[in-house]
Structure 1
Amino acid sequence: MFCAERLKVARHRKKLTGKQLAEAAGLTDVTVSKAENGHQPDDATVDKLAEALGYPRAFFFMDSPEVLEPRAVSFRSLKKMKAAERNASLAAGSNGIALYQWISARFDLPAPDLIDLSREQARPEVAARLLRQHWGLGDRPVGNILRLFESKGIRVLSLSENTHNVDAYSFWHADYPYIFLNQKKTAERSNFDAAHELGHLVLHFHAQAESLPEDDAERQANMFASAFLMPDADLKSVLSSIYSSSQIIKTKVRWKVSALALANRLHHIGMLSDWNYRSIVIDLGQRGFRTGEPLGVERETSTLLPKVFAALWGKGITRGDIANDLNLPWDEVEMLVFGLTGSTPSRPQRPSLSLVGTRAELDDG
């Protein structure tokens, strides 16, 4: 049976209105509207819709997809987003869930190991410290952020939208946490976005902060990210005194954050006076640190996904095969992992993710 929800997902991924889809498919607005509202289209109509959207015909006859509701998702820049951008991002989330369901049916992935602080009403900095204690991080720098997140059961995927209005977003689905990161940002900004979304996952568990004003929820997540990435004890041990922006530029690499984020954190914990903070921010702006990150750190990639794909490659299974199994366009799968996996190996490599029968286990190292 034709699935109306899948038609909406595909249309949203292409950022098309119903009228635009009708024009692209050579159909009437009424025909498209009926198809999206449960009226079973004939074969010719399905073929036209599938061709216009670039999705395999079989995609529209699968079971209903996992549809994400906007109120269940934590978006970083909701006010800046257009409806089409929001809908396209939510549709990417649906496809991302399908991809991870496919992977988890074949591999034993790390179980989620987060704490729910939404009912504790913990201050963001306290929440960051509690999670660091739970994970045994102490006050040291996080190191490889994505590797840490994946080892704690967070499912990280790429949001390769050609827009600066969608930084990142996160959600819980079936008790699994997901984070989508926009790969158009600098590595430092992406690191902070990841920690920001982690804040939403633990502070606003299952979007229980929907009663909060958006600005308050975003401010809490920002404060959490800053404290999680830059613990004050470590800052004070490394930077006993700060007298110039050059100091900040030199040491920011320790915490893999932007120069402005480090300056802001130092000001927040009282290590920079108002006057020094303003002068340093002005100097950083003049050096180009407002629009980019000169002398930036290397962008992190996934640790888990390359192991998965290498193990599959060793069995002759390509990303194209995964796309075929999911009845997704090949480029949709590529966009979900864009910037996270590096280049596909030209020959099978010995993976540390070993297949055992039909499943595999992720080695601790």
Structure 2
Amino acid sequence: MKDRDTRQLSLLPDNDLAADHLGIGTFDSARLTQARRLAGVTKKFVADEVGVSPVAVGQWESGTANPRPDNVEALARILDVPIAFLATGRPYARLDAAHAHFRSLRRTPVSQRDKATSFAEQVWELTHALEKRVRFPAVDLPGFSAGEVTHTEEFPTDPVSAAQALRHHWGLGTGRLGRVVRTMEQHGIIVTLVPFAGTATKTIDAFSTSKLPRPIVVLTPDRADDVYRHRFSAAHELGHLVMHSDCLPGDPEQEREADVFAAEFLTPRSEITPLLPPRLDFKKLGDLSIQWGVSIDSLLRRCKEVGAVSEATYRRSHQRLATLRASGLFGNEPVQGYPGEVPALLPSAFEMAEENGLTLKQLASELRVNLPRIRLLLGFGDTRPELILV
């Protein structure tokens, strides 16, 4: 939190906003859908808990009928949101699951994708609320404008050239990138790293979207136990944002292109090729892994790409690497020990607003969420002491 890379933020005039109270005429059907998806439950589950039919819940979500006040109270309790969450009257940027880059549709059920996209919607709402008080870095992503990416002839679309062009556009040179996540944040991209979906993140891995007013990348704690994999995931999602304005979730070709982009962005071929060993040498690869901040797996792929090892040797190398890891070599390094790889833009923006009078309670009231939810969105985690019974 004390890393001041994002302290370029400057304050804008604050607004003294008060939360509305839900009235029967202000029920928002879209907010009910969002709350249900965030809770990860079905319409039938909600119907059974409220004591109505699934058809009734479907009508509430479609806007063809409104629930009675007592049903609204039950909905808020079941979905763990304040009653005011289900009211109209605040900005809402809708995000369809088809407009987010998920790596595998087969491994990611629809309910989990819905939960993930609803989380991204809330991240944008938080960003919007903070931007009324704090000036964020401008979005500097080629072709991006207010939720759309338009490719121009000046910026290439093939992954290798796109990675090289973005490095040049951002003035990053050709050497090692010290801080991948912080670099993305400094160019206006919102990045989060929170356990937003519980065990669902084991299948989601990471995802991103350029269809909201700011591009958003969601990284998951399940990948943060290995900083090199975490950095590659961030660069992979950056590749999607740069190259794939027409989102095809789970498309193998887009996923392959994002991997190629990430490899070139992190280890430019012109720089890494002369450093790769002429034959398989795990000690040399381990040194390069630390030097360049990438995994040995990624460097092995580079060796195969430049012809330093054969396809057969490449396949055997992974078996050997697995054996070495099982013996305690080349262990994972958690992301928390690497400055600049834990997202800081949103929590730093809140810190600045807090210094000028904003409280967590006020922010939660403005977004109509509870305090644990606002802490999660900011990446603060649960700060309550844990009670352990013995």
TM-score range, shorter chain: 0.7 to 0.9
**Which gives a bigger RCO, structure 1 or 2 (Cα 8 Å, sep 6+)?**
2
**Residue 375 of structure 2: which of 317, 323, 334 is its match?**
334
Does residue 97 in structure 1 map to residue 124 in structure 2? yes
**Residue 147 of structure 1: which of 178, 182, 187 is its match?**
182
Does residue 182 in structure 1 map to residue 220 in structure 2? yes
Residue of structure 2 in register with 1:253 after alignment? 290
Q: How much has 1:285 moved relative to structure 2? A: 1.4
Gap runs ≥5 in structure 1:
345-365
Q: More deviation in 322-331 or 274-283?
A: 274-283
Q: How much has 1:295 moved relative to structure 2? A: 4.2
Please state whether the residue corresponding to 1:153 is helix, strand or coil: coil
Distance 2:178 2:252 in 1: 29
Q: How much has 1:280 moved relative to structure 2? A: 2.3
Whether the aligned pair in 1 keeps the contact of 2:230 and 2:335 (CA below 8 Å) is no
Distance 1:314 1:6 in 2: 31
Does residue 8 in structure 1 map to residue 33 in structure 2? yes
Residue of structure 1 in register with 2:348 after alignment? 307
> Structure 1 residues 175 and 47, CA, compared in 2 at 3 Å: closer, same or farther?
closer
Q: Which letter maps to 2:295?
A: S
Distance 1:32 1:88 in 2: 18
Does residue 156 in structure 1 map to residue 156 in structure 2? no
Distance 2:120 2:381 in 1: 21
Q: More deviation in 60-69 or 77-86?
A: 60-69
Within a 5 Å distance, the mapping from 1:262-277 to structure 2 comes to 262-277=299-314
Does residue 41 in structure 1 map to residue 79 in structure 2? no
Instruction: Number of aligned residue pairs: give it.
Output: 337
Q: How much has 1:337 moved relative to structure 2? A: 3.5
Q: How much has 1:301 moved relative to structure 2? A: 1.1
Does residue 51 in structure 1 map to residue 86 in structure 2? no
Q: How much has 1:24 moved relative to structure 2? A: 2.6
Whether the aligned pair in 2 keeps the contact of 1:263 and 1:277 (CA below 8 Å) is yes
Distance 1:26 1:124 in 2: 53
> Structure 1 residues 183 and 213, CA, compared in 2 at 3 Å: closer, same or farther?
closer
Whether the aligned pair in 1 keeps the contact of 2:127 and 2:346 (CA below 8 Å) is no
Distance 1:33 1:342 in 2: 33
Q: Which letter maps to 2:129?
A: W
Q: How much has 1:170 moved relative to structure 2? A: 1.1
Distance 1:171 1:78 in 2: 16
Q: More deviation in 1-10 or 120-129?
A: 120-129
Q: How much has 1:258 moved relative to structure 2? A: 2.1
Q: How much has 1:15 moved relative to structure 2? A: 0.9
Q: How much has 1:45 moved relative to structure 2? A: 0.8
Distance 1:22 1:288 in 2: 49
Within a 5 Å distance, the mapping from 1:196-207 to structure 2 comes to 196-205=236-245
Gap runs ≥5 in structure 2:
1-25, 144-149, 384-390
Does residue 298 in structure 1 map to residue 335 in structure 2? yes
Q: How much has 1:279 moved relative to structure 2? A: 3.3
Whether the aligned pair in 1 keeps the contact of 2:102 and 2:204 (CA below 8 Å) is yes
% of aligned pairs identical? 29
Please state whether the residue corresponding to 2:191 is helix, strand or coil: strand
Residue of structure 1 in register with 2:44 after alignment? 19
Distance 1:31 1:342 in 2: 36
Q: More deviation in 131-140 or 280-289?
A: 280-289
Residue of structure 1 in register with 2:9 after alignment? none
Please state whether the residue corresponding to 1:251 is helix, strand or coil: helix
Q: How much has 1:101 moved relative to structure 2? A: 0.4
Please state whether the residue corresponding to 2:218 is helix, strand or coil: strand
1:102-125 Cα distance to aligned partner (Å, 9 max, x none): 111111111111114846563211
> Structure 1 residues 316 and 105, CA, compared in 2 at 3 Å: closer, same or farther?
closer
User: TM-score, normalised on structure 2?
Assistant: 0.79
**Residue 62 of structure 1: which of 85, 88, 107 is its match?**
88
Whether the aligned pair in 1 keeps the contact of 2:347 and 2:378 (CA below 8 Å) is no
Whether the aligned pair in 1 keeps the contact of 2:38 and 2:118 (CA below 8 Å) is yes
**Residue 103 of structure 2: which of 59, 76, 81 is its match?**
76
Whether the aligned pair in 2 keeps the contact of 1:158 and 1:335 (CA below 8 Å) is no
Q: Which letter maps to 2:163?
A: A
Distance 1:76 1:191 in 2: 16
User: TM-score, normalised on structure 1?
Assistant: 0.84
